[in-house]
Each structure stands twice: as structure tokens, then as C-alpha cells.
Homo-oligomer: A and B are copies of this chain.
Amino acid sequence: MVSIVVADDHKIVREGLIRLLEAREDFTVIGEASNGEEAVAMVLERRPDVVLMDINMPRLSGIDATRQLGKAGCTSKILVLSMHESRAYVEEVLRAGASGYVVKNSASKDVHNAIDAVRSGASYLSPAITQQVVDAIARPGDGGPSGISMLTDREREVLKLIAEGLSSKEIASELGVSLKTVDSHRSNLMEKLDIHKVSGLVRFAIRAGMVEA
């Protein structure tokens, strides 16, 4: 019997997923969470075999939740569910400690297979993205890890706030640092991403799932 916690911010999606999971008699859903914080707390308390975690969630993203669970020494296998197929995403998710990455455009059978895979200690990547991972490995000199992974935590934070529409001054006050510091981070991340316009940063942040469109 495989115990599972489902985390997704949309109730109806959660319900649907649970139905699909419980079509397998050896799967049992022991909890559901509607945001990242709730997911972390629930997983640490109930210790499921597998966590089916959406990326886009309020309060704490699925990626950050995965990271926290890893630091907390949690042994539950984490299967990330995402609507994005971009390489940057997959990298981030796997580095955060997830065991699998399933795109939402998968059949329920694929999810079943993914759960079986991570249960046995393996990794699972949706067919749609394995090719991209292979591509990424095949050409390591194409400019590096494609973006977001080369940013520091602070730079990611600043990027997110830029994309949300805050001015540098507002970001400075939000983060409790000086305007000049924000300016530095801003310059540095623009240099790293080779994106030198706000519009480009916003699109990048949206593609990367850091902010909603």
C-alpha cells in the first residue's frame, strides 16, 4: 500500500487527482494540501510514501516546499506536477530534491507509473521532458544551466519582485536593504541572464513560474 499526500491549490484539481490515484487499489491518499506551507507541515506530520506536489501554489511554491522537506530530512518521495515543460523548470525541481517531474498533460497511467518508479527509489521524468534533459546534458557549453539556476537566492527574490511590478525603491524597503543593494542585484541578474529589459525579465519570470501572468 502506497500512502500519498496531494498538494495543489485548486480544489477541483485535487479532487480529480485523488480519484485518479484511488483508482489504483494499492494507492491511498492520506492528506491533501492547498498551499506549500500546509504541504510541508502535513508531510512532516503524516510521513507519506509519496507527495504529489504542484509547482504553482500560494504562500510557498512546490519547489520551495520540496527544498524545505529535503532540509528537514524528510524521506517521502516527492513527485512534482507541473504545467511547464521548459528545461529551466526541470532543473530547478530536481535540484530541489524531487524524485520525479510529471507534466500535467499526462495520462493517469503515467502518474501511476511515476509513483511506482519513485517508490522503488527511481526517478521519473515525463516523456515530454526527458528529451530536453538529454539535450541539456548533451550540450553543456550552450551558455550554462539556461538561466534561473545561475542566480543566487537573493537575485531570484529581486527578480520576482521586479516581475511583480515593484520599483527598486519598493524592493529595497520590502527586503530591508538599501536601494543600492537592490541596484546591484538587479544589474548582476540582468548580466547573468543576459536580459536587459524589464519586459524580458517579466517574461522570463513567468516562464520560470516565479510569478503569475
Contact = CB atoms under 8 A, between A and B. Distances in A.
Nearest to A206: B213
Contacts of A167: 197
B19 A105 contact: no
A104 interface: yes
Interface in A148-183: 162-165, 167
Contacts of A213: 203, 206-207, 213
Given A19-B20, A20-B15, A10 B104 contact: yes
Contact of A105 (B9, B110, B200): B9
Contacts of A19: 16, 19-20
A107 interface: yes
Nearest to A199: B165
A172 B165 CA distance: 25
A20 B16 contact: yes
A41 interface: no
Given A164-B199, A165-B200, A203-B211, 9 more contacts: A9-B105, A10-B83, A13-B16, A15-B16, A163-B199, A165-B197, A165-B203, A202-B202, A206-B206
